Amino acid sequence: MASGPYGTLYVGHTESLSKRAWQHREKQLSGFTAKYEVVRLVWYEVHDTREAAKAREQKLKKWNRAWKIRLIEALNPQWLDLYDTLNA
């Protein structure tokens, strides 16, 4: 999730990406994402298990900002909000 192109970034994992992204967009969750307006889904990946997703999240959280930006731009160079593509 991001506040906008090159803005504040947030990494997390969930069992329901569309539901969690909607919660962030609608500011249903208080905390970091609401405070910094992190409402755009700009990148995601799917894992077979919750454990695999959590392990990947922990790894990504250790990455520096430049690496995260390169990861986003490899999939989404225009930083489009991918939320609407989830259920298409």
Helix boundaries (H) for the chain: 17-25, 32-35, 50-62, 65-75
pLDDT in the model for residue 70 = 98
Supply the pTM of this predicted model: 0.92
Total domains present in the chain:
1
pLDDT in the model for residue 62 = 98
Distance CA 17, CA 24 (A): 11
Q: Which residue range is the domain that position 81 belongs to?
A: 17-85
Cα-trace Rg, the chain: 12
pLDDT in the model for residue 88 = 66
Average pLDDT over residues 42-71: 98
pLDDT in the model for residue 16 = 95
Q: Does residue 10 lie within any of the structural domains?
A: no
Q: Does residue 7 lie within any of the structural domains?
A: no
Q: Does residue 8 lie within any of the structural domains?
A: no
pLDDT in tens, 12-22: 999 999 999 99
